[in-house]
C-alpha cells in the first residue's frame, strides 16, 4: 500500500510513563478512554491515522498522523483528550514526562 501524504504532514507523539505493576489497570484505562476519544478525534479535520498503545514495561503512547501541523495542534484543545483522558491517566498513576511533539515527516514507506 502506498500512502500519499501532503508535503506538510506531521506525526504527533504523546508519551505517558507509569509503574509497570499497574499495567492491567492502565491498559483498561487506555481502552476505556478510546470509547470517547475515537469519536472526538474522528471529528477533527486533517487526521490520517491514530494509534494508542500500552506497554507492560511502563509506558503508553499516542501516535497520530496529520496533514498539517495546524491540524495536529487541534489535539491541544480537545477537551476529551486534555481534560477527561488526562485525568483518567493520572488517576492510574500516569506521568506525562515528555512534552507532546509534532514531527514534520522527512520520509515514509
- 10 Å Cβ neighbour count for 63? 15
- Predicted confidence (pLDDT) at residue 44 exceeds the cutoff of 90: yes
Domain ranges of the chain: 10-104
Q: What is the pLDDT of residues 53-94, one digit of tens each?
A: 999 999 999 999 999 999 999 999 999 999 999 999 999 999
Q: What is the pLDDT of residues 13-38, one digit of tens each?
A: 999 999 999 999 999 999 999 999 99
**pTM of the entire structure?**
0.91
| Strands ordered across the beta sheet of 47-55 | 47-55, 59-66, 10-17, 101-104
Report the chain's mean pLDDT, rounded to a whole number: 94
Count Cα atoms within 13 angstroms, Cβ side, for 41.
Answer: 24
**Class of 10-104 in CATH:** alpha beta
User: Is residue 65 within 8 Å of residue 11, measured between CB atoms?
Assistant: yes
- Predicted confidence (pLDDT) at residue 1 exceeds the cutoff of 80: no
Q: What is the pLDDT of residues 88-102, one digit of tens each?
A: 999 999 998 889 999
Amino acid at each position: 500500500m502506498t500512502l500519499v501524504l501532503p508535503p506538510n504532514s506531521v506525526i504527533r507523539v504523546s508519551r505517558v510513563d507509569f509503574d509497570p505493576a499497574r499495567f492491567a489497570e492502565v491498559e483498561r484505562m487506555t481502552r476505556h478512554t478510546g470509547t470517547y476519544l475515537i469519536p472526538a478525534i474522528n471529528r477533527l479535520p486533517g487526521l490520517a491515522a491514530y494509534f494508542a498503545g500500552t506497554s507492560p514495561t511502563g509506558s503508553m503512547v499516542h501516535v497520530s498522523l496529520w496533514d498539517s501541523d495546524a491540524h495536529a495542534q487541534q489535539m491541544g484543545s480537545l477537551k476529551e483528550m486534555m481534560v477527561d483522558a488526562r485525568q483518567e491517566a493520572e488517576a492510574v498513576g500516569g506521568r506525562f514526562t515528555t512534552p507532546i511533539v509534532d514531527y514534520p515527516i522527512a520520509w515514509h514507506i
